Structure 1
Amino acid sequence: MKINVQDKPFVQQEKMGNRGRLLVKCPDRPGIVAAISKFLFEHEANIIESNQYSNDPEGGTFFIRIEFEAPNLAEKAAAMENDFLALSEKFEMEHQFAYGEGRKKTAIFVSKESHCLLELLWEWQSGDLKTDIALVISNHEDTRGIVESLGIPFYYIPANKDIRKQVEEEQIKLLKEHEVDLIILARYMQILTSDFVDHFPNQIINIHHSFLPAFIGARPYERAYDRGVKLIGATSHYVTNDLDEGPIIEQDIERVNHRDHVPGLKKIGQSIERRVLARAVKWHLEDRVIVHGNKTIVFH
């Protein structure tokens, strides 16, 4: 069984043409690393980076991410993946192959607040966010000029709870037409229905302006201020049908004190949100995240 992946061919720099990644999740037992290493050696692959983890060496689950290079990888990738099936069956693996030329397509959803969107666009422009931004969808017009100035299609789709079904049908149609692999909710202030979420399992990344599981839902800064917290934070997670309770990818915090009122907390929080979301998206794009139940294994 393969871990869900949506990589598509994309011609990049020559130095990335022979680079591949392999992610594996399986029951822990002796010989897994040796078997995978032997397989890669037999396919002329040189291991560049390897990270592994077991949540319990005695009867637990084993996770590994390997980055490798192999000559003429594009030509032999299909045969390589087919050959791996026997090994996968032997060790009961869920696995995913990805390649340097497999550049994921992303869609960004945003409402009025633009700080997370701007951070993603800056990272993308600088080349640090290796993705094709296929489109931006918003329920407000505020960011249209910024997005379109970069040559990215912008779709204004008003949304509220009364028209949610037809709005999501239109959004899903656009996402399918653009062959989107990852949806980024960059402060998109609308609740997604279970139907929408079910279309994109582990393909929607959200940023929540709170250090979950504290202050789930709306107005977290106001509630944090009322509680007198000394730390505020942000959480980036995969979206599931449980509000703000999907597998957490990344979190960060800043210290605050009694002098920081709600506007100050929001300003500090926006800075945290930007960097937390950007890191989570990068790690997903680099195939560094394996979802396990309601948790993630993130190989930095």
Structure 2
Amino acid sequence: MTINVGISSCVIGESVRFDGGHKSNKFASKVLSPYFNYIPICPEVGSGMSVPRPTIRLMTNDERIALVDSKDSSIDYTDSMLEFSNKTVDALMDADLCGYIVCANSPSCGMERVKVYSKNNATKNGVGLYTGTLMKKMPWLPVEEDGRLNDPVLKENFITRVFCLHDLYQSMDGQPTAGKIVAFHSRYKYTLMSHSTVGYKNLGKLVARVAEYDIHEFFNLYRTQLMQTMSIRATRKNNTNVLMHLQGYFKKDLDSPQKQALAELIQEYNQGLLPLLSPITLIKHHLSMHNNDYLKQQSFLNPYPQELRLRYGL
């Protein structure tokens, strides 16, 4: 499995920070590394800054956001950073990139809540110049900060999106067709429902009109709407709704005690007494005893390798 994922060089353990250190993230460098082919990039070094180097920050004068030296704002790195960012992101467009892990709070790599200084104060409402360029040019791409990967819900959502996008690219095999897109969308029915019923319905309407589009134009539109829907975090309520739909596939196969046991497990999950893994494990067990090809192919049951153990805390 080769899943191309961009990552801030310091997060993968490279000593490229302003002080010559790194910010290695154990989950990214140890747990995910067997599954991801990392493309490490340090925008600051890439745009010509040294290691070590003076600290930098974002500054606004109400006309633009600039990247400047923290102690001498007349030293401006904005143009060189934007030039590097545009050139690098354009090159990544051809890499079938499926995700990106960035360094939090960085004036070049931060995804959100980066400090922006003005003459009189500082606000946490900025985005690093490199990551801002990345998200603008590739709005479908799953992007997450290293620190937020400590949150089990955010972590699971990010990994689900990465594997979903990889699955989309693999399913198209370099040449999207209407049939491939319909087949992919069918496999993601319940995954999409768990993230957003509105998003699922809108994507269904879009897929129904695939014949009206140039296929490459349609693929780009579908990819963006798909990943926007997947970025909405799945809720316990939506997951429960999906589990009840899956339960319905076994109404003719299970006896009354088995139906009752599954219903109780789903209810206990809905009440927050059990993790999502519990009802899914029982559903998989019933599926192994009562084959259903449509249900077997649903990504909701296996969105990523179970070795990642991401559903234990959901």
Structure with more strand by fraction = 1
- TM-score tier (shorter): under 0.3
TM-score, structure 1 normalization: 0.27
Structure with more helix by fraction = 2
The higher relative CO (CA closer than 8 Å, separation ≥ 6) is in 1
Query: Which structure would you say has the larger Rg?
Result: 2
